[in-house]
Amino acid sequence: MRLRLPYQLLLLCLLVLTVFYPTLNAEVCLIDDQEMLNGMFNAGSLTLKSIFLPHIVNGGYYRPLIGLSYYLDNTLWALDLRSMHLDNVLLHLVNVLLLFYILHIAVRNKNGIKSYLPLCGAILFAVHPIVTESVNWISGRTDILAANFVLASAAFLLLYRKSRARIYLVLAVVFIILGILSKEASFGMILAAFFLLNADIDYGPEKKNDILQPVRTTSVFRPSGLPFFLMMFAVIAMEMIYFGNYWAALAGCACYSIALLTEERGWKDLFRLDLKKALLFGSSACATAASYYLLRRMVYISDVGKIGQTVKLMLLDVNYSISVFLGASGFYFKKFLFPLPLNFYLLEIDPLYDLAGILLLLFCLRLLTRLNLPAAFFIAGVCMFLPALPFAFGTIAWTGYAERYIYISTAFWIVAIIMYLDGRPPQRYSVACATAAILVTLMLLYSWQTFSRNLVWQKNVSLFGDTVRQSPQSRRLRDIYMYALYNAGDIPAAKCQYVVGQTLHSLGYDETADLLMAEILNNEGKPDQALELYETVIRKTRNSSEKALKRIIRQLETMLSQLGDSGRSEELSAKKRTYETQLGELTKDPMVIYNLGQKALAANDRKSALGFFIRAHGAFAGTSPYKAYSAKLMDRLKEDH
């Protein structure tokens, strides 16, 4: 008895909502989510114009559709956490249904067990452990929303291939643009679209010129054969291990590609290209990239320095950059095949992943020589993580490697695998049953692992506790874990993490842990130790921490109110005035300077008060009433003086 289509759709919906139900009760993640929510709560004047045309200095990512989604969250349900998490789950469900639709279009053999291949593929993507980070992390919505548009674009490309109706091609382009406005990784879809449009839609064992059935020749070491593939990989791997020259490795891959093309086409047709298609694709890609660049220049006054820094680092040692890209590529494909262990924070990977990257590159070249639709979807999955490779240098995002970077790639790779299974020749009943058993086992294991990971994501303590166990040498992680423990009320454990963190090496000083420890000391009735720690922070940051200056001023005010008229009050008052002056010089905020003048006046320090009011008067806008207030106080103090 075959499960009808409406029931298959209902099954997918129920499965996603059940597996990701724990996500709805997740806390605000201490990485990015809290900052995003604070920004939305404090953005009283946020408008659609400011989302799409922010016109700010040091602009980072330009993702207006993500900002629009948060704007709608704020408008519709006041940034309610459960609702925002539900949004992520529902957007992921949309991607699952889109993938099911793509497979429903692409899979041709819909008899017997193979009729359930689209459903199996959709379930595998729905519960694949690699998607948990994007779905559970509110800020990970960028990947999910971009995937909505990218997968929709892929579906329209398939419809265009079948009907040749240009409206589908236009819609595919529009959805690629919407994907780019959600996340820059969608640029990979431009290259992916080229392969999807030019792939041979006829595939399977009956097709001689097909990746599923290599060309039969008398030579054992034919280029398309497995022995030649393994030989090329061994030669390139040995060269990389002993000489470390990645240029030579790429040259070896190029030789392999030429050998494949020679076997496929012969020397006569080796370099024959469809210039019309190549020029059309190249001009379209360049036009899209140029338009996006010009748009960024319009909406941002300047870019963040991290982007230029990464480009300089890549060009400084190109051989090293190639190794980084190959290692990241191998790592991401391994994560798709073997997703465990899942880790929220990865800065480094094993150098042996370079070999996996070469293996992936050779395999993609093998697919390119006789490109069919399953091969095109596999290569499209590779294209979708290419824009994330520069992140491996660790200078742009908070982590160099992230599971969410292959959220979209996972969808394309699953489509490729399901289409490959669909193109296999009819198998014996026992083989078909074994294949079905493997798929069912994978679905069950993935469902359980994903559900368990969703439980870990519910609490910051469990999430960062798990992350610290996997990356114990990261001081930054220890600081975040300490903050999570403090918020959970586990003060002894938070202090333990602080002590361990002090023993770990860090490239730069981060004040977060010291400020939190000072707050803990204050709550324990140790104000002098807290004051000493605040002073240490200010010394290490060279008076550049606004947060530390504000906290030490508040600390001194509290201590002065408790001391009364004791002999130490004069010493603390002098410190307070010093730090208030430093705060005023640091912030350049006229209101802060004006308030400092008021405090100095209340302390009868008329000379300091006059200096503050003079500076505040010069900084306030002409229309501000505080400019007039500052002028009156200045005149009064000058007369008294």
pLDDT band at 574 (very low <50, low <70, confident <90, very high): confident
What pLDDT, on a 0 to 100 scale, did the predictor assign at position 270?
A: 42
Mean pLDDT of 286-309: 70
- Compute how many other C-beta atoms are within 10 angstroms of the C-beta atom of residue 605: 18
Lowest mean pLDDT among 80-84, 306-310, 362-366, 462-466: 306-310
| Residues 486-492: contacts with CB under 8 Å, at least 24 apart | 486/516, 486/520, 487/460, 488/459, 488/460, 488/461, 490/461, 491/520
Residue 271 has pLDDT above 50, yes or no: no
Checking if the pLDDT of 125 tops 90, the result is: yes
String of DSSP letters for 176-238: HHHHHTT-GGGGHHHHHHHHHHHSBS--STT-SSBTTBPPP-S-TT-TTSHHHHHHHHHHHHH
Q: What 3 state SS string does 83-132 have?
A: HHHHHHHHHHHHHHHHHHHHHHHHCCCCCHHHHHHHHHHHHHHHHCHHHH
Averaged pLDDT for residues 51-79: 82
Q: Which structure tokens are listed for 446?
A: 């993935």
471 to 64, 481, 506: CA distances (angstroms): 33, 12, 14
CB-based contacts of 566, cutoff 8 Å, min separation 6: none
CB-based contacts of 99, cutoff 8 Å, min separation 6: 121, 122, 125, 151, 411, 414, 415
The sign of the CA dihedral 510, 512, 516, 519 is: positive
* Residue 217 in this model has a pLDDT that exceeds 50: no
Nearest Cα to Cα of residue 347 among 326, 328, 361, 320: 328
Give the residue with greater pLDDT, 217 vs 153: 153
Read off the pTM: 0.87
**Confidence band, pLDDT 50/70/90 cuts, at residue 109:** low
| Pair 147, 405: CB distance under 8 Å | no
Residue 265: predicted pLDDT: 58
Going by pLDDT thresholds of 50, 70 and 90, the confidence category of residue 208 is: very low
How far, in Å, CA of 418 to CA of 89, rounded?
24
Q: What average pLDDT does this structure show over 209-226?
A: 57
CA distance 175 to 171: 6
**Mean pLDDT over all residues of the chain?**
84
Least confident of 202-206, 402-406, 462-466, 548-552: 202-206
- Three-class secondary structure of residue 53 per DSSP: coil
